[in-house]
Structure 1
Amino acid sequence: MKILHVGSTDSAGGASRASYRLHKGLEESGVDSKMLVRRKSSNDPKVSVSGDFSVFQNILEKLTPPIERTLRRWSGNPTGSMWTFGIIPSRLAAIINATDADLVHLHWAGNGFLPVKTLSQIRKPLVWTLHDLWPILGVGHYDDAVPELNPGWLSVDWESRVRSLKKKYWGNLGITAVGPSPWVIGQLSKMNNRPGWAPAVIPYGLDTSVFEPRTDLRLREELGISQDRAVLIFGALGATSDSRKGGDLLEGVLEELAHRNFEGDIIVFGDQDSAKIRSYGFRLIRLGSVCDDTRLAEIYSVGDVFLFPSREETFGQTASEALACGTPVVGFRAAGQASVFRHKEHGYQATPFSVSDMANGVEWIISEKRRGRLWQAECREFALKEYSLARYASRHYDLYEKVITSSKA
């Protein structure tokens, strides 16, 4: 079986991390897996860059992202959220069709990497993981990014226009749509605009030999945290600039905990947005961007609670990573993240979007731990069962077999 994964990058962002982990998991299980991306960060020889296949495609790859950004700016993007127009031509389909892949697995295709019309020109069986909702919306990647008509000089209803293009070119395509959570597939069903798509739910997986509880306590010493001190962890990209990530809700939780005289330290990691989070009197340790998975596992392991205040996620990889390291999660019972862990079994699912109830969850987990509850073992066992890389790969292998067999019928 030969699988070609197609996505914007091989490591930047949650969707890319999920797709690369799948690629490596399939490789380890004996599948001939390759990736085709716009931008490569790894040194993996099985990952190819689409612009390397032709001079014309290379030019397009360089021009498309700035054109997309210009369109967003001129169209008066009201939320600052991600839009993808998908209208700039591409030779990506020709490149894909020339490969010997038995099946093409599409991943995140933002910033115009996979134009709407180009997708309809791929002549191989297709699986598409819905890392966000762009495949079923217009230009928006989530509902909160769906634009209203801008009164400026470029007054084009892009959402309706791109939805119409997708209906025109994708209406008769037989695509197997994989949702990392039941919520995503529920959104696909609710939209009811892709009648030919077959749904499947496969949660993201991870390398549980890397993301595992770390008993070495040197990181606490390095950060100056006493062994009996409660530690809360938070990590996200775009924590304050992307409202879905819930940076404002995190601050609300910290403010609420401060009012309750909660004693503990807060560790924050992520991009430059993490530096903007207010501390509310807590000692807030800012680690910045952390790209090394081993280092991430060490960070998760020193925490008593992982804070996951997102409003809307298709899954929630940081939460599953924390669980694999034995750290319980406190988040909201909303969207795709609600399926990542079970309430009061591996953490606490607060009422959306009550910062008071999320603070209740933090206090409850700490009190349970002090009563002797073995959170680490419970969370780790659940992650091994649900999110191992081997299971992630095998679920996809079984799906690929069905799709390939069906395409030959």
Structure 2
Amino acid sequence: MVLHLSNFHLEGGAGVAAARLHRALLKSNVESQLLVSKPTHEELGVSGLSHHGLESRKALARFIGERLYFYPQEKDASVRFAFSPAEFGADISNHPLVQQADIIHLHWINFGFLSIDSLDKLFLLGKPIVWTLHDMWTFTGGCHYSRGCENFLTHCQYCPYLAKPEEYDISFRQFERKQEIYKKAKMALISPSQWLDNLVKKAALTVGIASLSIPNCIDTDLFKPLEKTEIRRRLNLPVSKKLILFAGANTSDPRKGFIYFKQALEKIGLLASEIEVMVLGKANPKMMAAFPLPVHYLGKISSPAKMVEAYNAADMIVVPSLEDNLPNTIMEAMSCGTPAVGFATGGIPEMIDHQVNGYIALQASAHSLAEGIEWVLEDQNNARMSENARTKVLETYAESIVAAQYQQLYQSLLSHE
């Protein structure tokens, strides 16, 4: 039995990716269980640590403990949730599912779900460990994305996320602790993108650990092309306009690059009168004010069926992230036949084939992003790329393809015990 461990069930990109892999494995007749802090809803093979009020309060206390531990050390509020000290977490080494598991498969385990001590106790069980990395935390001294800092290549210290970076600061201590416990683990590190796998192979903490890249997966029977005009009418969206979708989880997060999206739209030329914008996710009202084009704010959508409608209503999606792994939003949009535009960063260029199923813009260039938007929206380009986008997902990210890669990995690990 494979036991997946993820703080979140169907929240956030990492939680969604973990749940999708669990479902894909079940469809491929692999015995799979997913243990989360608290399930979003009931689902086959999904269990929660928090079954009643006391456990829920303990989980909240662990989360608060994490934040309070880091709060006096943070540089400013912008890094508050971008660094995880992993000082607080549940000890699940004696949990029945952990004891029954043949393989323990880690996903995103921060924010008080598992601590470094929790990981140490899991590693000491001697079971094969698979760890799918959804950001950089596994090989840093605490940050989820390094924002250009390369200390993780040698040894984390003088961390730029801290108010007082020092030689033996919190990042140094976490790095040392990870170095100590990783020696005890029979572990394979899996990166959804080649970009992240390349960092794993260079990072000082993980350079000697077996690693490879296996992408996240998606249900292509759910995320599929639908009739655009009908959906727009249903959502009260203009039928005759070209609609651009921005699906950032938080428009105020600098890493999501919303400012570049806004600047790019200000540079749009002749097409401007034909374009309107759809925003999906948590939007900052101040950032939406004085927007250069009409905006249709869809809010936060958790229903997969409604997400499919939003992707199908759009002519394209723009993902201007400055750092990202393998964004679910691009995969979801492309699976619905919606071309994508993004910067040449992280795993995005692995998903978007330039001028085949979308457009890769120069990193942090609003001008290049504007050029990409205009190019994709040309009628002759858009129709061709829509078909190519769907084909890329079917051939690369379909559930059966990804599940088979993980099955091969599991069998390899078990045969070497």
TM-score (norm 2): 0.89
Give the alignment partner of residue 150 of structure 1, picking from 159, 163, 167.
163
Partner of 2:152: none
- Contact 2:93-2:99 within 8 A present in 1 as well: no
TM-fit CA distance, 1:375: 2.4
Name the CA distance, whole Å, in 2 between partners of 1:5 and 1:310: 28
Task: Please tell me whether the aligned partners of residues 141 and 172 of structure 2 are also in contact (alpha carbons under 8 angstroms).
Answer: yes
Q: Which structure 2 residues correspond to residues 26-37 of structure 1 after superposition, within 5 A?
A: 26-37=25-36
For the pair 1:294 / 2:305, whether they are aligned, the reply is: yes
Question: Any residues of structure 2 matched to 1:61-140 within 5 Å, and which?
Answer: 61-78=59-76, 79-80=78-79, 81-88=81-88, 90-95=90-95, 98-122=98-122, 123=125, 124-140=127-143
Q: How much has 1:121 moved relative to structure 2?
A: 1.9
Quote the Cα distance in structure 1 between the aligned partners of 2:96 and 2:279.
40
Q: Deviations over 1:157-207 (max 9, x none)?
A: 211111111112223423100000001011112213224421111111101
Deviations, residues 310-337 of structure 1 (Å, cap 9, x unaligned):
0111111100111111111110111122
1:258–1:282 Cα contact (<8 Å) kept: no
Q: Retained in 2: the 8 A contact 1:150–1:156?
A: no
For the aligned residue pairs, the C-alpha RMSD in angstroms reads: 2.5
Task: Check conservation: 1:107, 1:128, Cα contact below 8 A.
Answer: yes
With 225-234 and 103-112 compared, the bigger mean Cα shift is at 225-234
Structure 2 residue matching 1:399: 3-state secondary structure = helix
Aligned partners of 2:261 and 2:369 also within 8 Å: no
**Residue in 2 aligned with 1:401?**
411
**SS of alignment partner, residue 41 of structure 1:** coil
Structure 1 regions of 5+ residues with no counterpart?
none
Over 3 Å counting, the alpha-carbon distance change for 1:155 and 1:374 in structure 2 is closer
- 3-state SS, counterpart of residue 94 of structure 2: helix
Structure 1 counterpart SS, 2:108: coil
State the 1:376 CA deviation: 2.1
- Give the deviation of 1:216 after TM superposition: 5.2
Whole-angstrom distance in 1 between the partners of 2:52 and 2:31? 20
Please give the secondary structure, in 2, of the residue aligned with 1:397.
helix
1:353-406 per-residue CA deviation (whole Å, 9 max, x = no partner) reads: 111111101111122x24684222211111111111111211111111111112
CA distance in 1, matches of 2:174, 2:229: 52
Q: Which residue number corresponds to residue 168 of structure 1?
A: 180
Q: Unmatched 5+ residue regions in structure 2?
A: 150-158
Is the contact made by 1:174 and 1:198 (CA closer than 8 Å) also made in structure 2?
Answer: no
- Distance in 2 (CA, whole Å) between partners of 1:204 and 1:51 is 27
> Does structure 2 conserve the Cα–Cα contact (< 8 Å) formed by 1:178 and 1:201?
yes
Q: How does 1:257-276 map to 2 (within 5 A)?
A: 257=268, 261=272, 263-273=274-284, 276=287
Does structure 1 retain, via aligned residues, the 8 Å contact 2:228–2:313?
A: no
Task: Tell me which amino acid in the other structure corresponds to 1:136.
Answer: F
Please list the CA deviations of residues 21-73 of structure 1 after superposition, one character each: whole Å capped at 9, or x if unmatched.
00011111111111111121021142111244997x76642321001111222
Say whether the 8 Å CA contact 1:213–1:376 is kept in structure 2.
no
SS of aligned partner of 1:236: coil
Rounded to whole Å, the distance in 1 between the matches of 2:400 and 2:290 is 40
Q: Is the Cα–Cα contact under 8 Å of residues 64 and 88 in structure 1 kept in the other structure?
A: yes
Q: Is contact 1:238-1:271 (8 Å) kept?
A: yes
Determine which of 297, 317, 337 is the counterpart of 1:306: 317
Q: Secondary structure at the match of 2:268?
A: helix
SS, match of residue 247 in structure 2 = strand
Residue 230 in structure 1 maps to residue 242 in structure 2: yes
**TM-score normalised per structure 1:** 0.91
* Deviates most, 201-210 or 254-263: 254-263
Q: Which amino acid is the alignment partner of residue 105 of structure 1?
A: H
Residue 71 of structure 1 aligns with an amino acid whose one-letter code is Y
The one of 179, 197, 212 aligned to 1:185: 197
Q: Which moved more, 1:215-224 or 1:290-299?
A: 215-224
Q: Summarize the Cα distance change of 1:292–1:148 in structure 2 as closer, same or farther, 3 Å threshold.
A: closer
Residues 66 and 84 of structure 2 are in contact (CA less than 8 Å); yes or no, is this contact kept in structure 1? yes
Alpha carbons 1:75, 1:155 under 8 Å: kept: no
Question: What is the correspondence of 1:336-355 to structure 2 with a 5 Å cutoff?
Answer: 336-355=347-366
SS across alignment from 1:280:
coil
